[in-house]
Amino acid sequence: MKKLTCTAALGGLVLVSSLLASPALAANAAPAPSASESTPAASSVHVKEEVRKFDQNLFVTYKLTGGTEGQRVYLYNHTNDEISDARTFDKNGEAVVRDLLMDTGVVNDVQIHLPVEGGAWDDEDIVKIPYDDTRTDFVVPSATVTPLAGSGKVKVEFTGKPGSDVRIAKAGSSVFGTRIQLDASGHATRELDEPEQETQYDVVQWFEGEYSDAGQLTLGEGKGVASPAAPSTDVVGSTTKGDTVVEVEGSAGNTAVVRSKDGKVVAVKMLGKKGTSQLTVPKGHSYMVRQTHGAGNYSLADTLTVGK
Per-residue pLDDT of the chain (308 residues; tens, 9 = 90+): 333 334 343 333 333 333 333 333 333 334 433 333 444 444 567 888 787 766 556 788 888 888 888 888 887 776 667 777 778 889 998 988 888 777 666 677 777 777 665 555 555 556 666 666 666 667 788 899 998 988 889 999 999 989 889 988 888 776 677 889 999 999 999 999 988 888 888 888 888 777 787 788 888 888 888 788 889 998 888 887 778 899 999 999 999 999 887 778 889 999 999 999 999 998 877 888 999 987 778 888 888 888 65
Cβ contact 64:95 at 8 Å: yes
Cα distance between residue 293 and residue 271, in whole Å: 10
Q: Fold for 227-308, please state it.
A: Immunoglobulin-like (2.60.40)
**Nearest CA-CA partner of 32 in 123, 124, 125, 116:** 116
- pLDDT, residue 83, reads 74
Q: Fold for 135-224, please state it.
A: Immunoglobulin-like (2.60.40)
Using one digit for the tens of pLDDT, what is the confidence trace for 101-149?
776 666 777 777 776 655 555 555 566 666 666 666 677 888 999 989 8
- pLDDT, residue 91, reads 92
**Nearest CA-CA partner of 259 in 294, 289, 300:** 289
CA atoms within 13 A on the CB side of 203: 24
Domain boundaries, the chain: 3-132, 135-224, 227-308
**Would you tell me how many other CB atoms lie within 10 Å of the CB of residue 39?**
19
- pLDDT, residue 140, reads 83
Average pLDDT, the chain: 75
Q: Fold for 3-132, please state it.
A: Immunoglobulin-like (2.60.40)
Using a pLDDT cut of 90, give the percent of the chain over it.
Answer: 20
- pLDDT, residue 250, reads 92
Cα distance between residue 111 and residue 22, in whole Å: 8
Q: In what order do the strands lie in the sheet with 187-193?
A: 142-148, 153-159, 187-193
Cβ contact 196:224 at 8 Å: yes
Q: Note whether 135-224 and 227-308 share their fold.
A: yes
- pLDDT, residue 92, reads 92
